[in-house]
């Protein structure tokens, strides 16, 4: 299983707009990904409600994981998006 641990780069955490950006990027990757707070239960990273339900705050560590083919590259892109707190989807998602 591929896994990335990353700190949330959005000051407001994974709420509203940042969560939407993240969920769209996850869906666009075409790879099933889970997201969890460090030590918490993983949820579907392509589900807006699940991501919002995490309540991940800015600076908090999250864990992205996937067992699918292409997971390494997809997780690298998603981890960068989260860590940098990007305000728009990168074109390479």
Please confirm, yes or no, whether 15 is among the known catalytic residues: yes
Alpha carbon of residue 42 to chain centroid? 11
Q: Give which of 30, 29, 53, 28 is closest to 40, Cα–Cα.
A: 53
Strands 61-66 and 34-37: antiparallel
Beta strands per DSSP E along the chain? 2-7, 34-37, 43-44, 61-66
Query: Out of 9, 15, 43, 83, which one is annotated catalytic?
Result: 15
Catalytic machinery residues: 15
């Amino acid at each position: 299983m591929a896994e990335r641990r990353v700190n949330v780069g959005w000051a407001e955490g994974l709420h509203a707009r940042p969560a939407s950006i993240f969920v769209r990027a996850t869906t666009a990757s075409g790879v099933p990904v889970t997201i969890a707070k460090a030590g918490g239960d993983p949820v579907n990273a392509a589900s807006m409600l699940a991501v919002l339900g995490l309540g991940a705050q800015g600076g908090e560590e999250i864990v992205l994981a996937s067992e699918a083919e292409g997971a390494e590259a997809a997780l690298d892109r998603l981890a960068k998006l989260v860590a940098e707190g990007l305000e728009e989807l990168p074109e390479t998602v």
